[in-house]
Chains A and B, each alone.
Chain A
Amino acid sequence: MAVSEDAIQGSGAEPRASLIELLKRMQETHGCLSQEVLTKVAAETGLPLSKIYGVATFYTLLTTRPKGRYRIFFCKNAPCHVRGARRVLEAIVEYLGVQPGETTPDGLFTLELTSCLGLCAVAPAMMVGDDVYGNLTPQKAMAILEDYRTRERNEHAWS
């Protein structure tokens, strides 16, 4: 994927404006911002690799490591916490057998903690990929994840 210098250096007064957006696009195409990808961005933009790496590791939506097929964003901020998020998270950790930050061995789920998703009116809340779930209980959360598993299995069975 060719990266035009213009996209990042911009013109005149506004250099580097879209480095973050460029990294986002690279991540979409390559899955994650591996060292290889970042080196390529550095080579093609002329920006130092250290600077690019600094940006890539600063933001939660950018990631330098590969993720599972579904990213689970679980909120544990106070509004979710006071409505029982901890017990839900414990159930998810047990169900998946991985800690926050880790990916399940089958590569299906990556469990991630996130800041408030703006769904506090239906706290506790989480997102799985782009799907939103609220009013979670331990049982409900496990049923939701089980659903993704089943769907995945069926897709494999049919393909």
Chain B
Amino acid sequence: MSMRGPKRHLLIPIDPYTLSKGAERVKAALDKALALSNLTDTVRVVETGTVGHHEHGVLLIVYPDGVVYGDVTVDNIPQIVREHLQENRVVEGLVVRDVRIGPFDTRARRVEKQVRLVLRNVGLIDPESIEDYIAHEGYEAAARALTSLSPEQVLETVKASGIQGRGGAGFPTGVKWSFAAREKAPQKYIVCNADEGEPGTFKDRLILEGDPHSVLEGMLLAGYAVGATKGYVYIRGEYRMSIARMRKAIDQARSKGLLGRNILGSGFDFDVEVREGAGAYICGEETALLESMEGKRGEPRNKPPFPPQAGLWGMPTVVNNVETLANIPLIVKNGASWYRQFGTPTCPGTKVFTLVGNIVSPGLIEVPMGITLREVIFDIGHGIPRGRGFLFAQTGGTTGGILAAGELDVPMAYDTLRQVGSGLGSGALLVVDDSNCVVDLVQNFVEFFNHESCGKCTLCREGTGRLLEILHRLTSGQGDPRDIDLIRRLSVNMKRAAFCGLGQAAPTPILGALQRFEEIFREHAESHTCRAGVCRMRAEVAA
């Protein structure tokens, strides 16, 4: 968005949720009001991607003033236009203060601890305009790389930055790329993993919908570094808006010569296509994703060979997460040591989290690696609502580990969380208050795994079913003291012997919960009581 011309911009984040709250009608009312007040030359209305704060309905951000209005309806428009835009008086009653968008930190409370690298443009630029992205230094990294850096230099920069993949496992991105770069093959591929099925996770959607070009630029740089000329973005089928925005971004990049043949006269060719998923959590696993892209059932493949050696159609393929790729342009533009100033020495950079569950301010945040759980929950998320106490937090989505109250000061990074049996996973952070029952929640996790198990291997297919049976016994008052041991043994075996990451990770929250809250499991199994009063014990009813 260029600052020449209009003096003010009104940003309206558009996503399925704000649309359902009438964002389109608000925008139409604004256009009309601006025309009536002869403000069309000085004020421009920009539809941006979502900013991930859904608790305030339709947002309206006045730029560069840095004022964020929330729950805006058509009826508020005349007042905002008259008082704010004509008389320069902020309409205090409509301002929300716990939202941070782009560089606006004057009024927000949750700002200080956030560092927006990946989300630098989200909510600030028009995601459907490549010009806006370019005006915000977009494609500078690509231009610089293609004209003055060798593929090896790009690869070395990414390696030296120390960035680890943001899709869950945290594998060093530069190392993964170097495996693919080393291969000799007639064709190599870059695949952007935008399947995002992890419950509680929606960060990739917000990046795709808010700043699709940053992902494309990351793919282009990856392609250049490893010698791939074709890329695919595999997007979850339910994400209609992400799919549409990405398709549009690809067309725009192509028409500007930033995708296609001989990009910027460098002799390098690279093109990208969107592939839609069809609803299967397992297709986020990289080899299942490749199977699905080949038109088959999404069942994981044997590894090795790993995708960088033999991936899509048997060709060397780099699979990277959306957030990983969105980091790349910044790293290439600013250099590895710039990147390393954020985060911890062993885990550089920032992490985008979705903060969900029993939390006062849910939504999307970006923080430096190494921040503590306590800071995230209580300083950024403003704690737990309705005066309830903290029961536990789960990091990394449904396959993530469980952290109890005593672990609130663990730094959030791949290595430090691994030490307490957890991980960062996809970046979902679920906060659970003490009105919930941990056994009931474990049952909920297992229902998910049981539903999403692809059925290829027995341990996971049958194991999740058995676990569900046992947990159901516990939560309905039919439990038996031996059940706890059964759960533990089954979980340990699944962890050791399941074929893929789903079956191997499914036991993580189960074992984590058992370890921290065994007495609650025992109460369910032995005295058939649920102290939270959540589980409906048949024994209790009978008594």
Residue of B nearest to A23 (CB): B278
Given A16-B295, A59-B280, A79-B357; A134-B17 close (CB under 8 Å): yes
Contact of A78 with B298 in the complex, beta carbons under 8 Å: no
Nearest chain A CB to B507's CB is how many angstroms away? 16
Considering only residues 109-152 of chain A, those with a C-beta below 8 Å from chain B are 113, 115-123, 130-134
- Min Cβ gap A146→B in Å is 17
Verify A16–B278 contact, CB threshold 8 A. Answer: no
What residues of chain A lie closer than 8 Å to B202, measured between beta carbons? Answer: 116, 118-121
Smallest distance from the beta carbon of B323 to chain A beta carbons, Å?
14
Inter-subunit contact B281/A120 (CB<8 Å): no
Query: A77–B398 contact, CB under 8 A?
Result: yes
Whether A121 lies near B356 (C-beta < 8 A) is yes
CB atoms of B16 and A121 under 8 A apart: no
Contact with A along B250-276 (1 / 0, CB 8 A): 000000000000000000000000011
Q: How large is the interface on A (under 10, 10 to 19, 20 to 34, 35 or more residues)?
A: 35 or more
Asked whether B276 lies within 8 Å of A21 as measured between CB atoms, the reply is yes
Binding site for B on A (CB under 8 A): 8, 13-21, 23-24, 51, 54-55, 58-62, 76-79, 81-83, 113, 115-123, 130-134
User: How near does chain A come to B70, taking the closest CB pair, in angstroms?
Assistant: 13
**B residues bordering A, Cβ < 8 Å?**
16-17, 19-20, 52-55, 187, 196-202, 205, 237-240, 275-281, 292-298, 313, 315, 354, 356-358, 362-364, 394, 398, 428, 430, 432-433, 436, 441, 444-445, 447-448, 451-452, 454
Query: Whole-angstrom distance between the alpha carbons of A98 and B4 in the complex?
Result: 58
Q: Roughly how many angstroms separate A55 CA and B187 CA in the complex, as a whole number?
A: 27
Q: Which residues of the other chain, A, contact B55 by a CB distance below 8 angstroms?
A: 121-122
A-B pairs with beta carbons under 8 Å apart, 26 shown: A54-B297, A55-B296, A58-B280, A59-B280, A76-B447, A77-B200, A77-B398, A78-B357, A78-B448, A79-B200, A79-B357, A79-B428, A79-B430, A82-B430, A83-B358, A115-B281, A118-B196, A118-B201, A118-B239, A119-B17, A119-B54, A120-B356, A121-B364, A122-B17, A131-B20, A133-B20
**Of residues A16, A54, A79, A120, which shows the largest number of chain B Cβ atoms within 10 Å of its Cβ?**
A79
CA distance A135 to B294 in the complex (A): 38
Q: How far is the CA of A48 from the CA of B53 in the complex (A)?
A: 47
| Inter-chain contact A83/B357, CB cutoff 8 Å | yes
User: Which residue from chain B places its CB closest to the CB of A13 in the assembled complex?
Assistant: B313
Contact of A121 among B292, B298, B362, B452 (CB under 8 A): B362
Minimum distance in angstroms from A70 CB to a CB of chain B? 15
Known: A61-B237, A123-B356. Contact between A116 and B276, CB under 8 A?
no
Additional pairs, 12, CB under 8 Å, beyond known A58-B297, A77-B200, A83-B358: A16-B294, A16-B295, A20-B276, A24-B237, A60-B280, A61-B279, A62-B279, A77-B444, A82-B357, A115-B448, A122-B362, A134-B54
Report the separation of the CA atoms of residues A82 and B357 in the bound assembly, to the nearest whole angstrom. 6
Q: Are B17 and A82 in contact (CB under 8 A)?
A: no
Q: Inside 8 A of B433's CB, which chain A residues have their CB?
A: 82
In the complex, chain B residues whose CB is within 8 Å of the CB of A79: 199-200, 356-357, 428, 430
CB closest residue in chain B, given A27 = B278
Give the chain B neighbours of A60 by CB distance below 8 A: 278-280
B292 pairs with A132, CB closer than 8 A: no
Pick the 6 closest A-B CB pairs, nearest first.
A60-B279, A77-B199, A118-B202, A59-B278, A19-B295, A16-B295
B358–A116 touching, CB < 8 Å: no
Report the Cα distance A116→B275, complex, angstroms. 20
